[in-house]
């Protein structure tokens, strides 16, 4: 019934302005006639039919009332927005009308028309028009709000008709943004049934449903399904042109940090489209629980996530070191707030890893058992333009922290490395590879500290990751920018990367290079398409020129590869963890490397960029600085000659 009335109101609101004014004049004319009849009925105490001289009151009333009402602006106001000033105007207009009407039928009088008609009818007209304006304002404004809300609400389907889905539907029932028009569920016995008046549909008909029901958003309310099934569902939804959202994590809901109505974008794992590597809890805790742990570069995306994971493993103390003051402050507050009753000692340390005296003093004071070295400059184009700082931080900062760890008897030192260290084509990759080689050389010297490194691919969600960039570009309507349509990368999530670092460090024997079996590499353009499609949009290309988001290629940046690798050699060894491999790769003995590092340090101090590149090329044999597309085959052939 309400839907019918809303359609009727919408039809009135859609009328041209002159037509609405004419309609208002017609209604007021009818009210004049009605109140004249009622005045005679009340005066004569009977339901009478007007006749003879009594009919004269009708044209006189209309001739007096309508010009006054029109002149005083009663038909210029928009009824649904009427305020007290408009009602005051109505009172004034009817007062003027009443005086004129009384002058005719009360003061002058006509045979057969009681004098009291001239008094009663204006009072009844004031009441009738006042009620008419009030009711029009109330019902039109309420109907308009409902219509506006319906027009601005996004039709939504909830995937999952279980208790979680029903709770979400109940929470969204009063939402001004979303309207639940149905459920999707894999249980065929529910198809066609109603839950709380909302129909349950077959997910296989999603394309048809999204068009028929004008669905713009699908909410995943399936907290207990495994990652494989979740990925299958997302693939099924990609062609439906709907934005896919999720409800908050169950732990966040249970802890009160989120509500069912806090809809979220898809997780990084959903965008990656593969099952994350599961951690081994024993390996995670082996060198952490009850130990003093130091993390350098703690305020960065990898370092901060590493600290979060370490804090959950209950170390005796967690030393967080960074030169970013605000980042360190924010991380300390977060870790302290998330672990108020754990008895965990969080120690923030402001320092630059290149400051050898400061690092040595910190190590001597706190004597950490395990050191995770995440401090580095990792942004390829920036380091390419600032090679001196890249060399100082990535190489000599690593050596400074490692030597301090050895001098103070740390049990383990783990360097967080990158796949860009494999056959590098840029300064960042070359500096990270040389940092690896320095650790391998120190380990071969028989250092008491176990020195190791963990190498992995691109981290989705980290600073500089393509995911936040693509999300921002999609929100802005595009275009999405790619450096090359064929560019391919290994990907992992931030939690995966940090868990790998912790577990690999537990298995280290000294001089090891650990890499993750990350499965097949991902083309960046495929990731971009997946993000666009799961946002309910389409790609604009030759096949679909009317698409929503275009993809633009800007050309490879200096030192950027089309493809990345994780291994230099071809014979990785298995480890205790099925997804972690150990590589033993060529390095330079510490005695030979030391004088070369002194030359590199001198070149860095003098700002000699050409000298830096030359020495890097001598030490990292596979380093081939390229601008443009990199031919991996020729690089491998050059490395073997």
**The predicted structure's pLDDT at residue 391:** 93
Per-residue pLDDT tens for 227-245? 667 777 777 777 677 777 7
Q: Which CATH class is domain 281-520+557-574+585-634?
A: alpha beta
- Confirm whether 153-264 and 281-520+557-574+585-634 share one CATH topology: yes
User: Nearest 5 degrees, angle CA 310-CA 316-CA 320?
Assistant: 55
pLDDT of residue 72: 84
Which structure tokens are listed for 478? 């595009």
Q: What is the mean pLDDT of residues 123-135?
A: 83
Give CA–CA dist 288/290, Å, rounded.
6
pLDDT range class, residue 632, cuts 50, 70, 90: very low
Mean pLDDT of 513-520: 70
Q: What is the pLDDT of residue 80?
A: 54
User: What pLDDT is stored for residue 268 in this prediction?
Assistant: 53
Instruction: Exactly one of 179, 378, 420, 579 is catalytic; name it.
Output: 420
Q: Which two tokens stand for residue 467?
A: 């995911």
pTM attached to this predicted model: 0.61
How does pLDDT run across 265-308, given as a tens digit for each residue? 555 555 555 556 667 777 787 888 889 999 999 998 888 888 98
| pLDDT the model gives residue 458 | 63
Burial class (CB in 10 A: 0-12, 13-18, 19+), 504: buried
Over residues 41-67, the pLDDT tens digits come to 988 888 888 888 888 888 888 899 888
Q: Is 205 a catalytic residue?
A: no
What percent of the chain clears pLDDT 90, i.e. is strictly above it? 17
Are residues 80 and 137 in contact, defined by beta-carbon separation less than 8 angstroms?
yes
- Would you place residue 258 in the very low, low, confident or very high pLDDT band (cuts 50, 70, 90)? very low
Q: Which of 206-210, 392-396, 532-536 has the lowest mean pLDDT?
A: 532-536
Q: What is the C-alpha separation between 442 and 450, in angstroms, rounded? A: 10
Is-contact 221 210, C-beta < 8 A? no
Q: What value does the mean pLDDT of the chain take?
A: 78
Instruction: Specify the pLDDT at position 557.
Output: 66
pLDDT at 464: 52
pLDDT of residue 555: 75
pLDDT at 110: 80
Bigger pLDDT: 475 or 55?
55
Mean pLDDT of 87-106: 86
Question: 9 pLDDT band (50/70/90 cuts)?
Answer: low
pLDDT of 2 strictly over 80: no
User: Quick one: pLDDT at residue 71?
Assistant: 86
- Give the pLDDT score at 267: 55
Q: What is the CATH number of domain 153-264?
A: 3.40.50.720
Predicted confidence (pLDDT) per residue in 597-622, tens digit: 999 999 999 989 888 888 988 888 87
> Among 485, 489, 479, 625, which residue's Cα sits nearest to residue 556?
485
Pairing of strands 450-456, 458-460: unpaired
CA distances from 303 to 327, 415, 421, 595 (A): 11, 11, 19, 31
* Own/partner pairs, 61-67, CB within 8 angstroms, 24+ separation: 61/32, 61/33, 61/36, 61/101, 61/121, 62/29, 62/32, 62/33, 64/97, 64/100, 64/101, 64/104, 65/28, 65/32, 65/97, 65/125, 66/25, 66/28, 66/29
Q: What are phi and psi of 598, to 5 degrees?
A: -65, -45
More confident of the two residues 254 and 131: 131
- Please check whether residue 581 is in contact with residue 507, taking contact to mean a CB–CB distance below 8 angstroms: no
Write down the pLDDT at residue 293: 94
The reported pLDDT for the residue numbered 513 is 83
What residues does each domain of the chain span?
A: 2-151, 153-264, 281-520+557-574+585-634
Q: How many residues does the chain have?
A: 641
pLDDT of residue 347: 93
Among 170, 196, 168, 173, CA closest to 262: 168
Rounded to an integer, what distance in angstroms lies between the CA atom of residue 155 and that of residue 178?
6
pLDDT band at 366 (very low <50, low <70, confident <90, very high): very high
Query: How large a percentage of the chain has pLDDT more than 70?
Result: 77
């Amino acid at each position: 019934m309400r839907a019918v009335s809303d359609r009727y109101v919408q039809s009135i609101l859609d009328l041209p302005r002159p037509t609405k004014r004419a309609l208002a004049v017609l209604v007021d004319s009818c009210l004049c006639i009605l109140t004249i009849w009622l005045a005679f009925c009340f005066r004569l105490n009977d339901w009478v039919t007007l006749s003879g001289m009594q009919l004269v009151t009708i044209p006189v009333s209309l001739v007096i009332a309508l010009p006054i009402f029109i002149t005083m602006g009663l038909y210029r106001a928009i009824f649904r927005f009427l305020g007290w000033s408009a009602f005051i105007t109505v009172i004034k207009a009817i007062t003027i009308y009443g005086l004129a009407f009384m002058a005719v039928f009360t003061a002058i009088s006509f045979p057969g028309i009681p004098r009291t008609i001239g008094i009663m009818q204006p009072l009844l007209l004031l009441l009738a028009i006042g009620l008419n304006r009030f009711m029009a304002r109330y019902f039109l404004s309420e109907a308009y709000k409902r219509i506006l809300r319906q027009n601005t609400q996004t039709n939504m389907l909830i995937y999952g008709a279980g208790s979680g889905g029903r709770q979400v539907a109940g929470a969204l029932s009063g939402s001004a943004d979303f309207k639940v028009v149905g459920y999707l569920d894999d249980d065929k016995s529910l198809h066609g049934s109603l839950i709380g008046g909302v129909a349950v549909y077959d997910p296989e008909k999603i394309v048809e449903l999204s068009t028929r029901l004008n669905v713009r958003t699908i909410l995943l309310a399936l907290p207990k399904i495994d990652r494989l099934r979740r990925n299958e569902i997302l693939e099924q939804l990609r062609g439906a042109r709907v934005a896919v959202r999720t409800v908050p994590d169950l732990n966040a809901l249970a802890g009160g940090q989120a509500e069912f109505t806090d809809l979220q974008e898809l997780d990084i794992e959903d965008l990656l489209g593969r099952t994350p590597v599961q951690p081994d809890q024993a390996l995670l805790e082996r060198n952490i629980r009850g130990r003093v742990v130091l993390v350098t570069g703690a305020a960065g995306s990898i370092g901060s996530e590493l600290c979060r994971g370490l804090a959950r493993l209950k170390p005796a103390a967690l030393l967080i070191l960074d030169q970013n003051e605000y980042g360190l402050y924010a991380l300390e507050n977060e870790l302290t707030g998330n672990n108020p009753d754990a008895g965990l000692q969080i120690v923030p340390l402001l320092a630059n890893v290149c400051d050898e005296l400061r690092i040595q003093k910190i190590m001597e004071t706190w004597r950490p058992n395990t050191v995770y070295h995440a401090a580095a400059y990792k942004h390829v184009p920036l380091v390419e333009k600032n090679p001196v700082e890249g060399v100082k931080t990535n190489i000599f900062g690593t050596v400074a922290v490692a030597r301090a760890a050895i001098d103070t008897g740390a049990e383990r030192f783990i360097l967080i490395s990158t796949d860009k260290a494999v056959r590098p084509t840029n300064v960042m990759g070359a500096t990270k590879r040389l940092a690896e080689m320095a650790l391998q050389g120190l380990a071969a010297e028989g250092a008491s500290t176990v020195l190791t490194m963990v190498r992995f691919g691109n981290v989705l969600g980290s600073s500089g990751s393509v995911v936040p960039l693509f999300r921002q570009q999609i929100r802005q309507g595009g275009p999405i920018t790619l450096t090359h349509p064929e560019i391919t990368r290994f990907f992992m999530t931030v939690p995966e990367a940090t868990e790998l670092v912790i577990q690999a460090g537990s298995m280290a024997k000294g001089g090891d290079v650990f890499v993750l079996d990350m499965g097949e590499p991902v083309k960046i353009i495929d990731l971009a398409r997946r993000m666009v499609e799961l946002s309910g949009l389409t790609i604009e290309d030759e096949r679909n020129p009317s698409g929503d988001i275009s993809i633009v290629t800007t050309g490879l940046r200096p030192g950027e590869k089309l493809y990345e690798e994780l291994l230099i050699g071809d014979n990785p060894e298995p480890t205790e963890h099925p997804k972690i491999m150990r590589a033993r790769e060529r390095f330079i003995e510490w005695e030979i490397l030391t004088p070369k590092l002194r030359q590199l340090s001198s070149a860095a101090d003098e700002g000699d960029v050409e000298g830096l590149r030359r020495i890097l090329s001598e030490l990292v044999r596979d380093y081939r600085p390229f601008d443009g597309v990199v031919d991996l085959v020729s690089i491998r052939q050059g490395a073997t000659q």
